[in-house]
Amino acid sequence: MKRVLLLVSMLLPLSAALAANGRVPELNVKAICKTRDVDAKLFRSTTGQSVDECVHDEENAKQQLNSLWSTTAAPIRNRCESEGHSLGTTSYLDLVVCIQMAEELKDDIKPVPKKKASKE
């Protein structure tokens, strides 16, 4: 847990500065994946993948995030980053999923048409 907090404290200022410029945050995916692996072992669990597989998945997610980032509204980007930081789980995969979910919810919420007042 201390490693996760240390990792988050190191990444928070960097990613916040980059996000403020409208760019995808730079995350140390190798450190994230190693931390996840260590935490899984600590809790006698498994992540279901090797550190190398995790790094590969995160790099693919970063590429996907690069195409999503500029077309995603700043409030959604900020909320997704903020949630990740507060939970200590910021990763490219988490950001992609958060943005996709927010966009789907935004599309599902349609304004209710106003009823015209009757003139009786």
**18-72 pLDDT per residue, tens:** 445 588 999 999 999 999 889 888 888 877 789 999 999 999 999 999 999 999 9
Burial-class residue 85 by CB neighbours within 10 Å (0-12, 13-18, 19+): middle
In this prediction, residue 91 has a pLDDT band, given cuts at 50, 70 and 90, of: very high
Compute the half-sphere exposure of residue 7: CA atoms within 13 Å on the CB side of its CA.
24
Q: Which ranges in the chain belong to alpha helices (H)?
A: 2-20, 29-42, 51-69, 74-87, 92-108
pLDDT of residue 88: 74
